[in-house]
Structure 1
Amino acid sequence: MREKRTAIDPVSLEILWARLIAISEEQAAMVLRTAFSNILRESHDFTCVVLTPAGDLLAQPYQTLPGFTRCASVVMKHFLERWREWHPDDVAITNDPWLAAGHLHDIAIAVPVFYKGRLVAFSANIAHQADIGGRGYSADANSIFEEGLALPPMKLYRGGEVAQEVLDIIGENVRVPDQVLGDIQAQIGAARLGARRITELLEEAGLGDLEEVSAAVLARSEQAMRAAIARVPDGVYRNEGIMDGF
């Protein structure tokens, strides 16, 4: 269990944590307003998150897919294993199903947040694309090579410079390039918005980083989860899930 004590008081913590959640909600609202596909605008098959520099989850929206929130933290840690150095205006991307959200249609985007020259957070999202090539959204595929275009972890933007060839490859391999490329830009825009809002929060609150807030959020979350588990009576519990091939 986390034992680290922080100087932040409960009232300030609640205010700052609520602000971080509001930032994730604003990111989600931007995706909904700027996405090209119905899968995002109407089905809300995406999430937007605020993460610590170590990739731990700090905030998520209420209106998006909850299953993606853990995936966002996992894929961010894979990004961090891949790159030790990050620069302002970098944008990382992948749809690797073993590193991210489970199938190729889900594209993850992450943007580093810098404040006064320091990496203080990541703004990230995962969104289901209208198409990713291959056989399409089908259970007929016998291997991942039939399911569509695979994007390993890569920098789509390095210091603000776009790798246009990556976007060209994506566009050439999907049936609805306008929707897919448009949705990717919506994801990038939302992540960048989150980054701006985080720096604005630090400026307004007079903080140099989110370390104390992060430590308190993670510690309280762990304590709450452990308390909930402790309330479950001892016994044997079973569950069954059905896989449909998608």
Structure 2
Amino acid sequence: MNSNAKQIKYQLMWQRLAAIVEEQAQVLLRTAFSAIVRECSDLSAGVFDTHGQMLAQAVTGAPGHVNTMAESVQHFLSKYPLDEMQPGDVFITNDPWKGTGHLNDFVVVTPCFLHGRPVALFCATSHVMDIGGLGFGPDGTDIHMEGLFIPLLKLFSSGTVNETFMDMLRANTRQPLETVGDTYALAACNDVACERLQEMMSEFELYSLEDLSSYILESSRAAMLDAVRQLPEGSSTYCMTIDGYDQPIDLVATLTVSRDGIMLDYAGTSPISSHGINVPICYATAYSVFGLACAVASEIPNNSGSLSVFTVSAPKGCVLNALPPAPVSTRHVIGQMLPDVVFGCLRQIIPERVPAEGASCVWLLNLRGETQDASRGRYGFTLGFTSNGGTGARSGIDGLSATAFPTNLNGTPVEIAETQAPLIFWRKELREGSGGAGRTRGGLGQVIEVQSTCDKTFEILASFDRIKHPPRGRDGGGNGAAGFIGLSSGRLLAGKGGQEIPAGERLMIHTPGGGGIGDPKRRLPAHVAIDLADGLLTEEQARNLYGSEPVALA
């Protein structure tokens, strides 16, 4: 076979791997019990070679899961050597430092066998809404308060489920049906992926993935290195201040570009918090390299080869490298800010490729309470309602409104949420004028109002940011609107921590808008007119923000 034909064959097989892991993710999406997985795609799926190197990931899924998963498989192989695994074995953990950064994500790994030999591993992760403890919020002061900690262990041995583990799991969650169901869904999606890989290898007459793995990893690394070498060499530093739990937190990064790759160091970042907003280094790395890949070469596939070009470090004991037993339940609040910090560094090198600051972290409404009905009697509920703010403006185009970035979770449909819990959503709409003004404006946030449908209080386990420190505009662009949480009575609520919503009161949520880029006076009048026509601005806001009378559309 000549070299061109061989390369075409490798490319075809690479695309098949991508299709297999996408089916793996879709199986998980369609069999999961929890709405945050089914409706919001809070999951990831991928295939790994026998050395634990990620070859392909599903498009469906969150970057924080995907890029932590790239390290997780190595941890499993360290404890369970591949030559000791058997067909039908399945492994599980939610160790924050060997998984995705907090206890509410399960990581499940399954070895794939062909003709009795292990040829690959499949890994899948998904969020579970309740794993015991204080619940999914930042109030814990160590990891032991945050729920059931699952070390790396066997979920199945040669096809037989670990019933002792399952009993422990049921006894340590407020939602045993959903949590156990999601665990089986994770194992099932890996099984389907194993079947598809076996079919592919038989079709291409493969007995090993070693040669294909080398091709994928080497070509991906070479492509990413080539993209990095197009950048000017040197260092840049950026600092972003966010709300924190009880005091502001500084996220400080120094980015260094060389011919060997990009190094990112978080020296100077604030120390760990006493509450559960801290970030294990695996999660900090995951979102940092995601930001780098987006800006440097977004078209290059994400795998262990392309990721190897980036190096991330942070001082031990800082908020981005929290060590056990630090509380880390809502690590996403800070971790999802890191692409904005990365973009702040890259703005000094490639400003045309990076946006202004955005809402960044997802605004996840963790709602909990009790109700009763004739068939079930009195029972508790836990709902994770995903909402998003606006992204920052880009150099040539406005930011996206009510859009998840850097995570890519879908917003929870109101119709689904109202079937899951005794709640009614009175409003869920775009927040007028919340995008930072500029030549290109930031995306808009949302206004959400929710109330209990019964005569009972309910609780929010708040984990929001950008309330005291809104997303910043750049190059003369305005800041995005700050976030807000309060009650219809006018009482303000804290951005973080468990708080009760009295019966009859409405919970009011305003998610942040994204920052703008450039002088607002340079925004095209026609674009202001379109915003007015679309209800994104009021006439008063148009005058105040853009300094001229609104222009009517022709």
TM range (shorter): over 0.9
1:53 counterpart (40, 50, 61): 50
Deviations 1:111-162 (A, max 9, x none): 0001112110001111111111101111110000000000000011111111
Cα distance in 1 between the residues matched to 2:86 and 2:5: 29
Q: Structure 1 residue 229: deviation in Å? A: 1.4
Structure 1 segments, 4+ long, off by >3 Å, are: 239-244
* Alpha-carbon distance change, 205 to 137 in structure 1, aligned in 2, over 3 angstroms: same
Equivalent position of 2:12 in the other structure: 15
Cα distance in 2 between the residues matched to 1:176 and 1:15: 43
Deviations 1:179-218 (A, max 9, x none): 1111111110001111111111100111111111100000
Matches within 5 A, 1:121-160: 121-160=120-159
Contact 1:8 1:212 in 2 (8 A): no
Paired letter, 2:59 = Y
Paired letter, 1:50 = V
Cα distance in 2 between the residues matched to 1:77 and 1:113: 16
Deviations 1:2-42 (A, max 9, x none): xxxx9982211111001001000001111111111111011
Equivalent position of 2:192 in the other structure: 193
Matches within 5 A, 1:161-240: 161-240=160-239
Equivalent position of 1:91 in the other structure: 90
TM-score normalised by L of structure 2: 0.42
Contact 2:43 2:60 in 1 (8 A): no
Cα distance in 2 between the residues matched to 1:8 and 1:145: 56
Cα distance in 1 between the residues matched to 2:137 and 2:238: 27
Q: Structure 1 residue 64: deviation in Å? A: 1.2
Paired letter, 2:182 = D
Contact 1:79 1:153 in 2 (8 A): yes
Cα distance in 2 between the residues matched to 1:172 and 1:240: 44
Matches within 5 A, 1:6-45: 9-45=6-42
Cα distance in 1 between the residues matched to 2:188 and 2:49: 20
Cα distance in 1 between the residues matched to 2:239 and 2:180: 38
Q: Structure 1 residue 238: deviation in Å? A: 2.6
2:62 counterpart (57, 65, 76): 65
Equivalent position of 1:80 in the other structure: 77
* Alpha-carbon distance change, 144 to 152 in structure 1, aligned in 2, over 3 angstroms: same
Q: % of aligned pairs identical?
A: 36
* SS state at 1:198 partner: helix
Paired letter, 1:209 = S
Paired letter, 1:194 = A
Q: Structure 1 residue 66: deviation in Å? A: 2.1
Cα distance in 2 between the residues matched to 1:7 and 1:212: 16
Cα distance in 1 between the residues matched to 2:151 and 2:10: 37
TM-score normalised by L of structure 1: 0.94
Q: Structure 1 residue 73: deviation in Å? A: 2.2
Paired letter, 2:66 = T
Structure ranking higher on relative contact order (CA contacts 8 Å, 6+ apart): 1
* SS state at 1:238 partner: strand
Cα distance in 2 between the residues matched to 1:217 and 1:67: 22
* SS state at 2:231 partner: coil
* SS state at 2:236 partner: coil
Cα distance in 2 between the residues matched to 1:27 and 1:224: 27
Contact 1:8 1:213 in 2 (8 A): no
Contact 1:7 1:212 in 2 (8 A): no
Aligned residue pairs total 241
Equivalent position of 1:3 in the other structure: none
Contact 1:48 1:124 in 2 (8 A): yes
* Alpha-carbon distance change, 190 to 237 in structure 1, aligned in 2, over 3 angstroms: same
Paired letter, 1:129 = V
CA RMSD of aligned residues (A): 1.6
Contact 1:108 1:124 in 2 (8 A): yes
* SS state at 1:48 partner: strand
Q: Structure 1 residue 83: deviation in Å? A: 1.2
Q: Structure 1 residue 75: deviation in Å? A: 1.1
Contact 1:68 1:101 in 2 (8 A): yes
* Structure 1 unaligned residues grouped into runs of 5+: 1-5
* SS state at 1:62 partner: coil
* Alpha-carbon distance change, 240 to 159 in structure 1, aligned in 2, over 3 angstroms: farther
